[in-house]
Amino acid sequence: MKSVSLADISKFIRQQGIANDIDGDPEIAVSAVNTLEDAQPGEISFLSNPRYHRMLPETRASAVIVTRQTDAPDRLALVRTDDPYAAVAAAIVRVHGYRKHPRWGIDVRTTIAASARIGENANIGPWVSIAVHAEIGDNATIYPGCYIGDHVTIGHHVTLFPNVTIYDRTQIGHRVTIHAGTSIGQDGLGYAPRDGRWIKIPQVGQIIIDDDVEIGAGCAFDRATLGATRIGRGSKFSDLVVIGHGAKIGQDCMVVGQVGIAGSAVIGDHVTLAGQVGVGGHLTIGDGARIGAQSGVVSSLDGGVEYQGSPAVPSPDFRRQSAAIQKLPELVQRIRDLERELTELRQRMDNGERPGR
Amino acid sequence: MKSVSLADISKFIRQQGIANDIDGDPEIAVSAVNTLEDAQPGEISFLSNPRYHRMLPETRASAVIVTRQTDAPDRLALVRTDDPYAAVAAAIVRVHGYRKHPRWGIDVRTTIAASARIGENANIGPWVSIAVHAEIGDNATIYPGCYIGDHVTIGHHVTLFPNVTIYDRTQIGHRVTIHAGTSIGQDGLGYAPRDGRWIKIPQVGQIIIDDDVEIGAGCAFDRATLGATRIGRGSKFSDLVVIGHGAKIGQDCMVVGQVGIAGSAVIGDHVTLAGQVGVGGHLTIGDGARIGAQSGVVSSLDGGVEYQGSPAVPSPDFRRQSAAIQKLPELVQRIRDLERELTELRQRMDNGERPGR
Amino acid sequence: MKSVSLADISKFIRQQGIANDIDGDPEIAVSAVNTLEDAQPGEISFLSNPRYHRMLPETRASAVIVTRQTDAPDRLALVRTDDPYAAVAAAIVRVHGYRKHPRWGIDVRTTIAASARIGENANIGPWVSIAVHAEIGDNATIYPGCYIGDHVTIGHHVTLFPNVTIYDRTQIGHRVTIHAGTSIGQDGLGYAPRDGRWIKIPQVGQIIIDDDVEIGAGCAFDRATLGATRIGRGSKFSDLVVIGHGAKIGQDCMVVGQVGIAGSAVIGDHVTLAGQVGVGGHLTIGDGARIGAQSGVVSSLDGGVEYQGSPAVPSPDFRRQSAAIQKLPELVQRIRDLERELTELRQRMDNGERPGR
């Protein structure tokens, strides 16, 4: 692996808008970025979370990105910055770059409808199916086993990992990445009851995914019954996330693994949903809200606030409730004591005890 | 897109058993059903959930399906009915119909074992694998990338979307639909401990899916260790649902996204399980029970009742508990006050205070 | 199906280290193992969970594996043992054996890079893709639709069911089984914020899966940002489990369906995580801990202990809390009563009531 000087890394980090200074030899050759635990000589690591500070004396890394205040052994070359996490992200880009995909061109074992249009410089693996009237932009990378339904439109610089399914009439913007096994645009759970049975409602809507979205593995994003499910620009989703029919997700949201968002929910911009959160149907969540792991959102929530719990409440309320629940068994005892003491006191009065005896 | 007159739509809705009356021009030409928000002139919309009533004055739709009591602007043609949701479902069927699938016939790039039997009018995409002794009924639609294991039997009019896996010896009834990436019949989590390690128990049972079942994307339904996992007629499942080995699901159930049902659980008919519900192993849930989102079922539950919470309790109990939890921090303060006041009172007695002083 | 004598089954169970005695005719011919409910004459069943004891008089099985104390009808041949569950596991192996896979050899419709190395006796179905520099051991079974990325290494006797995706540079040990649709080694949710947008951090780490691991259907195990996500020897995972980037899972763990483990969590050996459990990032869970269903782990937990709840606490504490929550509405009433009685008592004193009236 080609190596890069520490000075080069520092300069690249600065170019990303992150001020930093080298404390040590700027000419050190760096071949990889690694964790404090796994780093080898010639590699650079980072310390962002203080709980890992104890690993600093033991790391075999040659250089470490740290905060301006961090105490570190003299033998380590340091890159000091106010934001080590952002800095190491930049360092990884500089040293490693992004994943290189296999080059297939357009594999002959792919089936592409005559009416489909594929942009320039396409990189499409074997056993991909592209149905009638689909349109795919330039520089697409589509791994083996993907299915692209009829009338799907996909922008430029899109990457679909293996075995992704895109249902008919889905619209996907530019620079979207979708990981393996994810399914986009299937029917939501739309049925009308009749005589004790469920009659399927044709799901004639679609799903529209805006630019710069990344979706993890094994997700399932439903099309709308009518109109469109919408995923806003720049939002990021981890694995096994479910989006119900007709939900609208804003821009630059961060959605962690196993989150489920029910149909017709409306999520604002810059919303964070931590792991396993559930959001009920037809609710709204305001811009910048942050919902803690496993929370259950059962009513609409204002933006800019942190929530937790099932049902989700503002985090300070949740912490007070949690603390009180932890003390509940003790409270039960205290109530029992109060009842006993009160009875004693009443008996003393009823018995005509002379006060002060 | 071909259009249909409002009179035609009204008549079709009536034919589905849903009484309705037109309030406006019956000759309006309708080209699509759409949401109040997205509808264009020449389209029909609906208002079922009162919270969207404020959208009625602003919709560009030409006609709207509403309740008999709804106030609506004069310019809108109305279809008035007691059940707008059921009516719009029928309208969608009349105006749009159900999804049309691509036509592959039996693609030559499919591998079908000589001993497999395929019914009439099969529509099987490329890169489908059908193993020995599998039997598939008439009018099957099987999208690319599906795998059908040995000795699988599948009824008539079944649709498998892309990349579905059906393990060996699975039985599937008529008119079953399975969405992309779902896996049916894999081994459950069956191991016996020996010397601190887990020894795999061969999972020699199977899974039987009855008629008219629809299963969402990314689901995983396990085969039984012995005997059969069973999915009852007409039950509907959303995305990313897990069914454990040997579970029995009744008829006409509605199972929302990310529900998990553990092994050997027995679910009755017409049961609703909302999003992210978990059901413990070996439990029973009676007919018609409705379990709220994120609930955890840890004991068997009677039918006909609504439950909520983790552990799940009848919903009125859950609401009382929730309300009390919200007030817990206040209760703690009230207990503290009681203790202080009681101490004061006792001291007054102990101090020989003359009553009435 | 070939049958086996009850004596043979008893002997095989004993050979697995499980003492047992036949109570009945050892020459009975057994053709299958089945549930008490579904068993036919000529089949053997078992009774381990006492709640199914009522089924014993009604079973049509010819023989049943039971505890040494179980009362059973005279007509049934019995295998008596201290551990019927372990014994039936052995009986299933003796009577049925493990699943036989289709035999493809190396299907010609597979694409294998010239630089990839495949071991002896490979069994690789059609539409499998094996990228450059991948290495696969002997006796591999790879079902149709699997994708094996570049520089992946896989040990001997590995089984990949249909449509599994293994991302580049993943390492997998010997005797590993991965069920349909699972994805291993995709990027985790790694982004750095800049100017209100999310900048992707290249995920340059990998994932290493040790020997004897089994992974269910539809799972998603992320590669590390740096270093490696690690799955310890012998650990077993059910369906739709998510493992975040950089997490370390110990040996012989049992992870039930829909569990989510966040990035950089460290799980010990012999840990049990029941269904839908969530584990927060950067936490540790000690060896032998057992976490109840739907629990949310929000702080590091000691080993050897059973936990429950969200947030997870030791199970006895959880049970006390749960019992207290069930009684909360009653507690509110008791506090109200106390307040009223205390007020009355104070008034009696304030009013100068003569004690002993």
- The model's pLDDT over A217-258, given as tens digits with 9 standing for 90+, comes to 999 999 999 999 999 999 999 999 999 999 999 999 999 999
* Token couple for B29: 């030409």
Position A86 in a domain? yes
Q: Which subunits sit against A, judged by 3+ Cβ pairs under 8 A? A: B, C
pLDDT at B346 over 90: no
Nearest CA in chain B to C352: B356
What pLDDT is attached to residue A225? 95
Identity of the amino acid at B10: S
Whether residues C124 and C184 share a domain: the answer is yes
pLDDT digits (tens, 9 = 90+) for A6-32: 999 999 999 999 999 999 999 999 999
Q: What is the DSSP letter of C99?
A: P
The per-residue DSSP string of B42-58 comes to TEEEE--SGGGGGGGGG
What pLDDT is attached to residue C64? 97
Considering the entire predicted model, what is its pTM? Answer: 0.95
Position B141 in a domain? yes
What pLDDT is attached to residue A349? 83
Distances (CA, A) of B149 to B178, B231, C223: 15, 19, 30
Enclosing domain of residue B348: 327-357
Q: Which residues of A touch C222 (CB under 8 A)?
A: 239
Catalytic residue (choose from C157, C179, C245, C270): C245
pLDDT at C141 over 50: yes
Sheet containing A278-279: which strands, arranged edge to edge? A111-112, A129-130, A147-148, A165-166, A183-186, A220-222, A242-243, A260-261, A278-279, A296-297
Q: Which residues of B touch C143 (CB under 8 A)?
A: 147
Whether residues A221 and A260 share a domain: the answer is yes
Position A104 in a domain? no
Q: Which residue has the higher pLDDT, C276 or B338?
A: C276
> Percentage of chain B surpassing pLDDT 90?
87
Tell which of B48, B65, B96 closes a domain. Answer: B96
- Band of the pLDDT at C51, cuts 50, 70, 90? confident
Position C240 in a domain? yes
Gap between the Cα atoms of A169 and A192, Å rounded: 24
| Most distant CA pair in chain B, distance | 105
- Looking at the partner chain, which of C125, C293, C346 has a beta carbon nearest the beta carbon of B129? C125
| Most distant CA pair in chain A, distance | 105
Gap between the Cα atoms of B145 and A165, Å rounded: 10
Nearest CA in chain C to B319: C329
Whether residues B117 and B58 share a domain: the answer is no
Gap between the Cα atoms of A287 and A309, Å rounded: 19
Whether residues A57 and A184 share a domain: the answer is no
Q: Between B and C, how many CB-CB pairs are < 8 A?
A: 223
- Band of the pLDDT at C357, cuts 50, 70, 90? very low
Whether residue A209 contacts residue A184, with contact meaning beta carbons closer than 8 Å, is answered with yes
- Which ipTM value was assigned to this complex? 0.94
pLDDT digits (tens, 9 = 90+) for A73-117: 999 999 999 999 999 999 999 999 999 999 999 999 999 999 999
Q: Do A200 and B179 touch (CB under 8 A)?
A: no
- The arithmetic mean of pLDDT across residues C192-199, rounded, is 90
- Band of the pLDDT at B356, cuts 50, 70, 90? very low
- Band of the pLDDT at B2, cuts 50, 70, 90? confident
Chain A contact probe: residue of B239, B295, B315 with most A CBs at under 10 A: B239
Pure H helices in A102-239: none
Gap between the Cα atoms of B52 and B50, Å rounded: 5
Chain A contact probe: residue of C148, C201, C277, C357 with most A CBs at under 10 A: C201
Residue among C47, C1, C42, C39 nearest C25 (CA): C42
Whether residues A306 and A345 share a domain: the answer is no
- Residue A311: cis peptide before it, omega within 30 degrees of 0: yes
Q: Do B34 and A227 touch (CB under 8 A)?
A: yes
Whether residue A172 contacts residue A209, with contact meaning beta carbons closer than 8 Å, is answered with yes
Q: Which residues of B touch A292 (CB under 8 A)?
A: none
Whether residues A216 and A79 share a domain: the answer is no
Q: Which residue has the higher pLDDT, B343 or A303?
A: A303
3-state SS record for C292-357 = CCCCEECCCECCCCEEECCCCEEHHHHHHHHHHHHCHHHHHHHHHHHHHHHHHHHHHHHCCCCCCC
Whether residues A47 and A154 share a domain: the answer is no
* Token couple for C184: 């291993």
Whether residues A216 and A156 share a domain: the answer is yes
Whether residue A273 contacts residue A253, with contact meaning beta carbons closer than 8 Å, is answered with yes
Whether residues C307 and C331 share a domain: the answer is no
Residue among A293, A248, A288 nearest A274 (CA): A293
- How crowded is residue C350: how many other Cβ atoms within 10 Å of its Cβ? 12
Distance from chain centroid for Cα A338:
49
Distance from chain centroid for Cα B264:
20
Q: Do B218 and C216 touch (CB under 8 A)?
A: no
pLDDT at C40 over 60: yes
| Most distant CA pair in chain C, distance | 105
- The arithmetic mean of pLDDT across residues A321-348, rounded, is 89
Identity of the amino acid at B314: P
What pLDDT is attached to residue C345? 87
Q: Which residues of A touch B344 (CB under 8 A)?
A: none
Give the 3-state secondary structure of residue A67: coil
Residue A108 main-chain phi, psi, to 5 deg:
-70, -20
- The arithmetic mean of pLDDT across residues A176-194, rounded, is 96
- Band of the pLDDT at A353, cuts 50, 70, 90? low
Gap between the Cα atoms of C237 and C260, Å rounded: 11
* Token couple for C290: 């057992």
Active site (annotated) includes residue A245 = yes
Chain A contact probe: residue of B294, B338, B342, B350 with most A CBs at under 10 A: B294
Position A351 in a domain? yes
- Looking at the partner chain, which of A150, A311, A331 has a beta carbon nearest the beta carbon of B322? A311
| The total number of structural domains that make up chain A | 3
Position A102 in a domain? no
Whether residues C83 and C121 share a domain: the answer is no
What angle (nearest 5°) sits at the alpha carbon of residue A90, between those of residues A84 and A93? 145
| Nearest-10 Cα torsion for A295, A298, A304, A307 | -30
Q: Which residues of A touch C186 (CB under 8 A)?
A: 161, 179-180, 216-217, 239
Q: What is the CATH number of the domain that holds C46?
A: 3.40.1390.10
- Looking at the partner chain, which of B109, B187, B204 has a beta carbon nearest the beta carbon of C33? B204
Provide the b/e sequence for C71-99 (b: ≥16 CB within 10 Å): ebeeebbbbbbebbbbbbbbbbbbbbeeb
- Band of the pLDDT at C275, cuts 50, 70, 90? very high
Q: How many separate helices (H) and strands (E) can be counted in chain A?
A: 4, 39
Name the pairing type of β-strands B248-249 and A77-81.
Answer: unpaired
Q: What is the CATH number of the domain that holds B294?
A: 2.160.10.10
pLDDT digits (tens, 9 = 90+) for B62-83: 999 999 999 999 999 999 999 9
Provide the b/e sequence for B246-259 (b: ≥16 CB within 10 Å): bbbbbbbbbbbbbb
Whether residue C311 contacts residue B307, with contact meaning beta carbons closer than 8 Å, is answered with no
Gap between the Cα atoms of C213 and C228, Å rounded: 17
Whether residue B64 contacts residue B57, with contact meaning beta carbons closer than 8 Å, is answered with no
What pLDDT is attached to residue B354? 56
- Band of the pLDDT at C327, cuts 50, 70, 90? confident
Sheet containing A63-66: which strands, arranged edge to edge? A20-23, A77-81, A63-66, A43-46, A32-33
Gap between the Cα atoms of C3 and B65, Å rounded: 65
Provide the b/e sequence for A109-148 (b: ≥16 CB within 10 Å): bbbbeeebebbeebbbbbbbbbbebbbbbebbbbbbbbbb
- Band of the pLDDT at C299, cuts 50, 70, 90? very high
Position B104 in a domain? no
- Looking at the partner chain, which of A181, A275, A310 has a beta carbon nearest the beta carbon of C181? A181
Instruction: Give C194 to chain B, closest Cα distance, Å.
Output: 33
Q: What is the DSSP letter of A11?
A: H
Gap between the Cα atoms of B274 and A189, Å rounded: 11
Q: Which residues of B touch A183 (CB under 8 A)?
A: 161, 179-181, 217-218, 239
What angle (nearest 5°) sits at the alpha carbon of residue A26, between those of residues A22 and A30? 105
Distances (CA, A) of A299 to A311, B16, B177, B276, B322: 8, 35, 33, 17, 14
What pLDDT is attached to residue A350? 83
Gap between the Cα atoms of B182 and C217, Å rounded: 9
Position C173 in a domain? yes
* Token couple for B81: 């009915």
Name the pairing type of β-strands C313-314 and C306-308.
Answer: antiparallel
Whether residues C21 and C128 share a domain: the answer is no
- Looking at the partner chain, which of C200, C227, C355 has a beta carbon nearest the beta carbon of A352? C355
Whether residues A161 and A13 share a domain: the answer is no
What pLDDT is attached to residue B1? 59
Q: Which subunits sit against B, judged by 3+ Cβ pairs under 8 A? A: A, C
Average of per-residue pLDDT values in chain A:
95
Tell which of C48, C66, C96 closes a domain. Answer: C96
pLDDT digits (tens, 9 = 90+) for C209-254: 999 999 999 999 999 999 999 999 999 999 999 999 999 999 999 9
Whether residue C280 contacts residue C300, with contact meaning beta carbons closer than 8 Å, is answered with no
